[in-house]
Amino acid sequence: MMSILIPSSQRRTLAELSDRIDLGHGDRSTKRSAFWTMLVLSGVIATAGVIGDSTATVIGAMIVAPLSTPILAVGLGIVTGRLSLVGRSLRYVVASVAVVVAIGYLFALVLPNPTSVLSNSQVVGRVSPTLTDLAAAVATGFAGAIAVTRRDVGDVLPGVAIAISLVPPLGVVGVCLGSGEPELALGALVLFASNMVVLIIAAVVVLMIAGYAGESAESPQAKWRGRAYAALAVVLVAVGIPMTLNTITSIWAKQVQVLADDWLSGIPEAEVSDVSWHSHGLVVEVRSPEDLPDIAELQQAVDAALPTDPPVTVVHTVGERIGE
């Protein structure tokens, strides 16, 4: 298994790996200068892409972003027993989070209409992460951890950076906070936290399999390493709970959309434009030039289909077809 994942001929030595991802190893000033320069630029690019609803711009920010470096270094520190590396790398991560969120917050303060920004696809796609996002993060995390330990697959790291998405969610956090939407900001923060913890876990697993623990001059105590594993497990559970709830509610929303379509089947030009969950229940947005059927019928259908019997609110937008 080891020879397939990381052939010995392509495996980086511990010194090479440390030089690659430890910002406190080797030429520290050059590494730190490059890290902070690229981080600020990626934060600006990501936030601009989020506000402009530009997928291409956001992808550019993902490629530029260096945030995976200290996150992978946390995993290396856990495996090799270097508590100083873990602490130093976590400080870089926390400071990076603060910098990117601040950039997003400042951008939001000058927006003429922040409400329109909060409804664009770049924001909506990052404030309600589901288990599908977590599964993608797991696979991407392992790809990134394997790539950083092998000399011959380093070219895939830009693709890993795009898939794991670390800086854009933080830009969304800042934009949402600056726009007065802390609940949306929390959702984007959950996405970032899930990606980060999965990347650390993947790095720990891959680096342990690759045998880096045995090369370290420092031998971590079982108690210390056990606490690190427990902390990762707690964070994973903490982010997994809201992601599970989001998954369930998204499935239920699709069910309600089908029920709402059936409810409107007697009105030819009526359509359900959106079904969303709010603190007070379900909101069904409908476009129709005619009066709607009795809402009690839809409520009864929803109560029969879902176990929680959420109250249903229908937002009716009256449309008119103009033509010859």
Q: Which residues, 6+ apart, have CB-to-CB distance to 184 below 8 Å?
A: 118, 123, 127, 172, 176
Q: Are 149 and 84 in contact (CB under 8 A)?
A: no
Where is mean pLDDT largest: 75-79, 95-99, 203-207? 95-99
Question: Which pLDDT belongs to residue 176?
Answer: 93
Q: Would you call 4 helix, strand, or coil by DSSP?
A: helix
Judged against a pLDDT cut of 70, whether residue 306 lies above it is answered with yes
CA 102 to chain centroid, in Å, comes to 18
Interval 32-58: pLDDT, tens: 999 999 999 999 999 999 998 899 999
Q: What is the mean pLDDT of residues 243-262?
A: 91
CB 141 within 8 A of CB 198: yes
Query: pTM of the predicted model, to two decimals?
Result: 0.84
CB atoms within 10 A of CB 248: 16
In whole angstroms, how large is the CA radius of gyration of the chain?
24
Question: Which one has a higher pLDDT value, 98 or 224?
Answer: 98
Residue 4 has pLDDT above 80, yes or no: no
Distance (Å, rounded) from C-alpha 164 to C-alpha 170?
13
- List the structure tokens of 43: 């934060």
Contact 169, 106 (CB under 8 A): no
Amino acid at 296: A
CATH domain 250-317 topology: GMP Synthetase; Chain A, domain 3 (3.30.300)
Mean pLDDT across 113-123: 80
C-alpha closest to that of 164 among 148, 176, 151: 148
- If pLDDT is split at 50, 70 and 90, which confidence band does 223 have? low
Q: Which residue has the tokens 């001059």?
A: 217
Instruction: Provide the pLDDT for residue 213.
Output: 80
Predicted confidence at residue 322, as pLDDT, reads 42
> How many whole angstroms separate alpha carbon 246 and alpha carbon 250?
6
CB 235 within 8 A of CB 285: no
- What percent of the chain has a predicted confidence (pLDDT) above 90? 35
Domain positions in the chain are 2-220, 250-317
